[in-house]
Amino acid sequence: MIGKLLGGLTGWLVAGLPGLVLGVLAGHAFDRGLTRTLGLGSPEALARARQTFFDTSFQLMGCIAKADGRVSEQEIAQAESLMRQLGITGEQRNAAIARFKEGSTAGFDVAAAIARFNTDCAGPRQVSHTLLVFLVAMALADGVMAEGERTRLGDIATGLGYSAAEFEQLLAMVEAQSHFHDYAAGSGPAPADALADAYRALGVSPECSDAELKRAYRKLMSEHHPDKLAARGVPESMMKVATEKAQEIQAAYELASRSRKD
C-alpha cells in the first residue's frame, strides 16, 4: 500500500490524473519488490519499513509546508485533495493528518525522523531516492519552490546521503521533466526555454557528447519504459497511461538530438 500511495502521490503532483494512475501502478510494483530491494528477512521488518516510509513521508511533507513560516490554507487543501484522490480514508487518513501535523510543528526533529528512516528502510538508494523525488515533486506542485522549501529539501537530501551536487541535479531533472508533460502528449507547445529543459530533464549538460546524451536517455528509458511496467504486471489496457512518463523523456531527447542536427 505504501508504494501505491507514494507512487500515486508523486505522479499526481508531476502529471495530474494520468500521473496518478501510472504512479499507483508503478507503486504496486514497488510494494511487490520492497522485500527484495531492502533485503528484509521477515514480515515484521517489511511492515516496519512500510510504516516508517508512510510516517516519514507525511511528516516531511508537513515540515516542508511549514518551511516558509506557516502552513497555508492552500497547502492544507492540497493535502486534503491528494488524500481524496488516493482514497485515503478512515484510520489511515487520520494517521496521515497526524503525521503531517507532527512535521509542521516548530519542535519537529527532522534529523531524528531521517535517522529512523535510514535505519528501518536501509538498503539500496532506490528507496531514499523514491522518498526524495516524492518530496521534491510535492514542493513543486504549485509551480513555485520557496527558498525555505529548497533549503529544507537540501537538508533532507543531505540526511539521506546525497551530496549538494546530486540534490541539485535531481531537483533540476524532476522540475524539467514536468515541463514536458503536455508537450510530450501533443496537447501543448514546447515549454519556454525548452532546449535547456530538455538537457536538465535528461540529467546532462548541453556540452555533453552525443554518446553521453544517448547513454543518459537510455538509462532513463530503462527506468521508466512501459515495457518494464508491463513485465511487472501492468495490464495492457493501461499501457496508454503508462507511456506518459516515457513520452516526456522521449520528447526531451528528441528535442536535444534535433538541435544538434540543425
Give the distance, in angstroms, between the CA of residue 163 and the centroid of all CA atoms in the same chain.
18
Contact 201, 252 (CB under 8 A): yes
pLDDT tops 60 at residue 191: yes
What are the boundaries of each domain within the chain?
A: 1-161, 180-262
| pLDDT tens digits along 92-129 | 888 888 998 999 898 899 999 999 999 987 766 667 87
Cβ-based neighbours of 57, under 8 Å, separated by 6 or more: 6, 99, 131, 134, 135
Q: What is the mean pLDDT of the chain?
A: 74
Q: What is the pLDDT of residue 167?
A: 92
CA neighbor of 81 nearest in space, from 142, 150, 31, 2? 142
d(CA 114, CA 83): 23
- This model's pTM is above 0.85: no
- At the top level of CATH, the class of 180-262 is mainly alpha
* 24, 153, 160, 253 from 220: Cα distances, Å: 19, 23, 22, 10
Which is higher by pLDDT, 162 or 131?
Answer: 162
Rounded to whole angstroms, the Cα distance separating 132 from 190 reads: 27
Contact present, 53 and 1 (Cβ < 8 Å): no
pLDDT at 227: 66
Q: Look at 45-54, 101-110, 227-236 and tell me which has the smallest mean pLDDT.
A: 227-236
